[in-house]
Amino acid sequence: MIPKIRRFFSFFVLACLVTFPQAAWSQLDSEEAYDPFADYSEFDEASDEEADINFFKNGRFLTAGLALGPQTFTGGMASAYGDAPVLGITLSYFFDLRLALSLGLMTSDHSVKIKTTGETLTGNVGINEVNVHLKYYLSTQNMVKGIADLNPYVIGGFSQVTRSYSIAELQSQSRESAPSTDFGGGIEIPLLRRKSFFGFQAIYHYISFADENKRGITDSAGDQLLLKKLDGDYINWQLILGMNF
């Protein structure tokens, strides 16, 4: 009876020596996999990697576009300047999926009828614009599919605007520049499997030229009183056809 007990006890000790280290190593591996003191940067790197993959798959680096549409005015300029098409080019660089820096060149030529107490001055005025804008694309996760497909965005920035007059009655030309503060919005509809897009954009230019508060003008007949001051701002309504890179 005693030899049997000894053999059983020896077998039990040997089994414990073999089994317990394996269980200890398994526990250590399990603890290492779910270490509560692990550096959180590991999770941040995984999140950043996922964002990078999403950007490379769905994002854009550059877009180039051709813009065309009407340009309208407000205030006294609306009564003196006729509406005319504005033509331009835009180039946008994307920092991520939502934020982009946009550079643009715009030009337009408008008819002029400046009414004074003595006569009406006629001619042309050219509006040339160099702009720098930031575009922020709104999150479409909680929007209905029809609106989400339009890729809506808001836009804001600054422009340097040059206005050139050519007045027939004065037989002279004048040129002046002024900065403008711009804000607006737009949409972009993807085309050709997102290789290009068709968009619509409206931008309001808040601008103050040097002569917008003047009530008079000197023409061939001498000093004349303006019926309306040449104050106001202007708005670009643009249809954009662009390519994604």
* Contacting residues for 85 by C-beta, under 8 A, at least 6 apart: 68, 69, 70, 71, 108
**105: in domain:** yes
Q: Extract long-range pairs of 34-39: CB within 8 Å, 24+ residues apart.
A: none
Burial (Cβ within 10 Å: 0-12, 13-18, ≥19) of residue 193 = exposed
CATH number, domain of 115, equals: 2.40.160.20
What DSSP string describes 115-156?
EBSS-EEEEEEEEEEEEEEEEEEPP-TTS-HHHHTT--EEEE
Read off the tokens for 131: 């702009």
Using CA atoms, how far apart are residues 172 and 170, in angstroms rounded to an integer? 5
Contact by Cβ (8 Å): 178, 134: no
How many domains does the chain contain in total?
A: 2
For residue 2, pLDDT beyond 60: no
Least confident of 3-12, 135-144, 214-223, 236-245: 3-12
In degrees and rounded to multiples of 5, residue 48 shows phi and psi of: -65, -40
Contact by Cβ (8 Å): 213, 231: yes
**54: in domain:** no
Contact by Cβ (8 Å): 57, 50: no
Read off the tokens for 125: 């005025």
Place of tokens 């060149």: 105
For residue 181, pLDDT beyond 80: yes
Q: Assess whether 188 and 80 both reside in one domain.
A: yes
**214: in domain:** yes
Q: Assess whether 171 and 230 both reside in one domain.
A: yes
**113: in domain:** yes
Map residue 212 onto helix, strand or coil: coil
For 34-89, what is each residue's pLDDT tens digit? 555 555 554 455 555 555 555 555 678 999 999 999 999 999 999 999 999 999 99
Q: Assess whether 32 and 118 both reside in one domain.
A: no
**43: in domain:** no
Q: Assess whether 20 and 74 both reside in one domain.
A: no
**231: in domain:** yes
What pLDDT was estimated at residue 153?
Answer: 95
Highest-confidence range of 9-18, 161-170, 212-221, by mean pLDDT?
A: 161-170
What pLDDT was estimated at residue 23?
Answer: 47
The pTM score is 0.75
Using CA atoms, how far apart are residues 64 and 243, in angstroms rounded to an integer? 5
Range of the domain at 33: 2-38
**14: in domain:** yes
Q: Assess whether 16 and 104 both reside in one domain.
A: no
Using CA atoms, how far apart are residues 205 and 179, in angstroms rounded to an integer? 9
DSSP assigned state of 227: S
**75: in domain:** yes
For 124-146, what is each residue's pLDDT tens digit? 999 999 999 999 999 877 777 76
Pick from 119, 127, 114, 139: nearest CA to 86:
127
Q: Assess whether 133 and 21 both reside in one domain.
A: no
